[in-house]
Amino acid sequence: MTRIAFVNGAYRRHGEASVHIEDRGYQFGDGVYEVCEIRDGALIDETPHLARLERSLAALRIAAPMSLNALKLVMREIVRRNRVRDGLVYVQVSRGVAPRDHGFPAAARPSLVVSAKPLDRRKGEANAAVGVRVVALPDERWRRPEIKSLQLLPNVLAKQSAREKGAYEAWLVDDQGRITEGSSTNAWIVDAAGKLATRQADRAVLSGVTRATLLALLAKEGVVFEERPFTLEETYAAREAFLTSAGNGVMPVVAVNDRVIGDGRPGALTLALREKFHRFAEMSPV
């Protein structure tokens, strides 16, 4: 089946979809994006994803390319045209097309790209059954990672380094030896006392939508947790560890830098949260 993308007001064949060479997203990374999970034909946590998109646009002073209601219609049409029941829908907004100059252009219309792709849920379940490995790397990103911008080169390099080391993800470590987050995920541990911890949503991390939904689930279930920094040494001593993102849900981590976490198997709490997550999250029909 031919994939379809939405680019600046038109639905186009994926292989023919394009933006102008002077689009500021291409020239400067001057834009933002969102990724929303599609599961069983429904959008997961669409409302908080679009709320974060609005926050990111406001932080970079980029105008919304269309109303949220119109964007919701485009997202659903892209999912429908690509016949995706399980996968991801991607939304990218740049400041638009203008002659190359570092300062904001006097007049530019924001560019909008929306696409969707399927994911094989069986692969995720297979990973979750055994757990994944991560490696710790220095956090070399810019100082505003709470904005979901296109400025992802340090994340790309970290992810590639993890893959070259045979790992699934990289967890980033700040100058104080504390884990901030992953290259494209949020990081969690369950300490020796059974208490959950994840970095607080400050300017050092992206406030993950899956992370926020999981925190709400924990509060509802009465699970004790802390939003605080934790160190690499704490991670090595943890009972369980896992990562979260729209594409992973709750994914068990069984080793960090070849140091086994717990007994080297996905933890009971992690697996319970993975099983409950999608029953708790917002599901918006397509």
Active site residues: 148
Q: Of 153, 174, 155, nearest to 163 (Cα)?
A: 155
Query: What is the SS3 assignment for 182?
Result: strand
Contact indicator for 277, 208 with CB cutoff of 8 Å: no
Count Cα neighbours of 128 within 13 Å in the Cβ-side half-sphere. 20
Amino acid sitting at position 144: R
Helix axes 209-221, 46-60, angle to 10 degrees: 130
Tokens at residue 286, please? 């397509």
Helix axes 46-60, 68-81, angle to 10 degrees: 120
Q: Which residue has the tokens 């969707």?
A: 116
Contact indicator for 202, 143 with CB cutoff of 8 Å: no
